[in-house]
Structure 1
Amino acid sequence: MALAACDPAIPDSGSGVGFGDYDSYQSQLRRDTALASSSRQTVQPPASPVASASASPSAAAPSATGAPTAAEIDQALGRTPTTAQPVITPAAPAPVRTAAAPRTAGSAGISDEQSFEAVSSRESIESDAQRIARQRAQFEQAPVTALPDRPQDTGPNLAQYALSTTNQPGEKIYRRGFTSQRKFDRACASQPSAALAQQAFLAAGGPKRDKLGMDPDGDGFACGWDPRPFRAAKG
């Protein structure tokens, strides 16, 4: 302290930096503080999230309370007015579609008889026995009756005759007189089938005699009737 008082080259510390004296510095400091406080009270966020400071009329218009506006404060402090950044509201997320829950075995219209858990939950050994008893009580057996008698006027038995023969079709067994082809064709054409023709042939004296002309080769089989299916069925 003694050295500072004796040295005339040391400047007076009472004067403020950039000001003529310390009182001027304190006065400017109080003014700047008041302006900064007023700026915090009057500057409000923009009403619209997408509005900018240049588009808002309230930034340049004077305050109704007489306080300086944000533009006046920026001008007094030598600051460049800043432009409010637009606030972008995120769009609502698209609705998420969830898959429908699969229908369980207990749903209407679906049988759960194949599910052991479902059946065992409502059935028991006793209930099964009762159900079997009810089914047996409802069972009806048809009465046994005797087979009807076979009519005697159905003609020769073709199965019995086929099994009594051993020769092959076309193999001559019986002697035949002369029979024209025309008589043979006419006799066979009058029968609905070869089986009925064979029955008519046997009923008219066959196989030994052939009054109708149905067996000209003498094998005992009329109009191409074949006994081999009957033999195969027995074998």
Structure 2
Amino acid sequence: MTSRKAALAAFCIVAACGSSIPDSNPYAGQGVGFGDRGRYADLRAERNAALEAPRVAVVPEEQVIASETLGVLNATRTTQSTTATLPVQQTQAATAAPVVAQPLAGTAQVAAVSNPGISDEQNFTAVASRETIESDAERLARQREAYQVVQPEALPERPGGTDVDIVSFALSTTNMVGQQVHRRSGTVSDSKFQRACARYTTSDQAQEAFLKAGGPKRDRQGLDPDGDGFACYWDPTPFRAARGG
């Protein structure tokens, strides 16, 4: 038991020697909550000097008003204050006077350019200023004199004229393609028929040549071996449809 007490006492002595107890009030004697009184007086003097010094407002660059605009605003304020102090008669006269807008100093003036190529016929004011009932009557009379009636004329003849009209022939027929109407003597082979039709660029040309050579009753060139009256696959249906039947 005695040894335990001795060990505890030795431990306390070592702990006391190893560290010091911190001061709980380092500002003792300097005033409650203010620190050094001399330093407090200096700070108060600096604050009073800052409050009494003139303030300079710093305006962002994008909010700076141009000198020309500021001049216009000041002139407007001066005019408003002067108008408020004028008698009623002078105020009415100033209000009735036309106000002409003046361009700001330093701004470019754009001159109005007239374009004579643009018509003002849709502008009622412009037309009414130069036209009268008499001028309208004169203009109407001139237009009536210039009016011309074109008489219909006969269609010109086809270049290289021909006495065969495949359109009239198509409208004069009623049978279908491949339906035999005319008798054919002998037999025409398919190869001979193809060679005969190859001499013409289109079936219309083949039909014209067929009619000129005695068709549709006779077929000397072998252009219509089935006897329907139509050479080389020529078809009268489009011409009949154009007539409506």
TM-score under structure 2 length normalisation? 0.50
Q: 1:87 to 1:151 in 2, by over 3 A?
A: closer
What is aligned with 1:93?
Answer: 64
Q: 1:147 to 1:116 in 2, by over 3 A?
A: same
Any stretches of 5+ residues in structure 2 without a counterpart? 1-44, 70-111
* Higher mean C-alpha displacement, 86-95 vs 200-209: 86-95
Any stretches of 5+ residues in structure 1 without a counterpart? 1-79, 97-103
Percent identical: 53
Q: Is the 8 A contact 1:187 1:214 kept in 2?
A: yes
Would you say 1:124 and 2:132 are equivalent positions? yes
What is aligned with 2:193?
Answer: 184
SS at match of 1:217: coil
What is aligned with 2:227?
Answer: 218
Would you say 1:161 and 2:169 are equivalent positions? yes
Quote the offset at 1:152 in angstroms.
9.2
Deviation sequence 1:78-127 (CA, Å, 0-9, x none): xx69524233156473458xxxxxxx9x9646543333344333323222
Counting only pairs closer than 5 Å after superposition, residues 37-52 of structure 1 correspond to structure 2 as none
Counting only pairs closer than 5 Å after superposition, residues 58-137 of structure 1 correspond to structure 2 as 83=49, 84-89=52-57, 91=59, 93-94=64-65, 108=115, 110-137=118-145
State the distance in 1 between where 2:229 and 2:148 align: 51
State the distance in 2 between where 1:120 and 1:225 align: 66
Q: Is the 8 A contact 1:172 1:218 kept in 2?
A: yes
SS at match of 1:182: helix
State the distance in 2 between where 1:228 and 1:171 align: 13
Would you say 1:199 and 2:208 are equivalent positions? yes
What is aligned with 1:175?
Answer: 183
> Which structure has the larger Rg over C-alpha atoms?
1
**Aligned alpha-carbon RMSD (Å):** 3.5
Quote the offset at 1:187 in angstroms.
1.0
What is aligned with 2:6?
Answer: none
TM-score under structure 1 length normalisation? 0.51
